[in-house]
A = this chain, B = another copy of it.
Amino acid sequence: MTETRVPIPTLERLATYLRVLLDLNEGGVETISSQEMEHYSGISAAQFRKDLSYFGEFGKPGVGYSVPQLIECIERILHIDQEQPILLVGAGNLGAALVGYPNFRAHRFRIAAVFDNNFVKIGRPFGELVIEDIARLKEVNAQIGAKLAIIAVPASAAQTVADMLVEAGITGILNFAPTVLKVPPHVFVRNVSFLQELAVLSYHVAEGTEIAQPTGGHRDCAI
């Protein structure tokens, strides 16, 4: 096999396929064709087959794919075949939503520790965990050995937290803070931005509605 780089969109879709497959598996479905996957996932059959082709051959021509086997394979590919410990930084509303998120378990993600810098919160229970002092992050992760972390703190604190996470051996960060993190090249960051998503929607729902109105600037916003 040639060393082809896997496109990020392919990895994202893999998670969608897995979700569909887990549902089908619950329902006792044993085999699925790429055509059927298109129906359930909204992703084209050709795309599905192409995505899988980056990792090997998983189907039988004329038959389709074994649901349980494909689940196993995708879980292996995404390295969620074993439980993945995750550090959560920020014990606010968003953090609470995340520790209570029921779907993590099905994908074998486990929030293994929660940190905050607010001494009023430190030591308090948080879901099934106890909030730890952010200062102990490196020390605690020496035990846990997590590679993944979630940043759920205000934008003003996010970079400092990111630096501490990198220092503690984290190499993948899911960032909810609306800011651009600077990290070393071996660390991967994915940003979740509600504002960005809403902005894109806002543009679309208003399309065709706009009234061109000069600002009085040196040039109009020609929209």
Verify if A49 is at the interface (C-beta below 8 Å from B): no
| Contact A79 B221, beta carbon cutoff 8 Å | no
Task: Give the complex CA separation of A65 and B161 in angstroms.
Answer: 32
| Contact A147 B79, beta carbon cutoff 8 Å | no
| Contact B107 A76, beta carbon cutoff 8 Å | no
One of B19, B174, B223 near A194 (C-beta < 8 A): B174
Verify if A171 is at the interface (C-beta below 8 Å from B): yes
One of B77, B147, B193 near A223 (C-beta < 8 A): B77
Copies in the complex: 2
Interface size class of A (residues with CB under 8 A): 35 or more
| Contact B201 A172, beta carbon cutoff 8 Å | yes
Q: Mark interface residues in A1-39 (1 if CB within 8 Å of B CB, else 0).
A: 100001010011011101100000000000000000000
Task: Give the complex CA separation of A84 and B220 in angstroms.
Answer: 23
B-side contacts of A94, CB under 8 Å? 97, 101
B-side contacts of A192, CB under 8 Å? 192, 194, 197
Task: Give the complex CA separation of A72 and B199 in angstroms.
Answer: 14
Which residues of A line the B interface, CB within 8 A?
A: 1, 6, 8, 11-12, 14-16, 18-19, 40-42, 55-58, 60, 66, 69, 72-73, 76-80, 84, 86, 92-94, 96-98, 100-104, 107, 109, 147-148, 154-155, 171-174, 178-180, 188, 190, 192-206, 209-210, 213, 215, 217-223
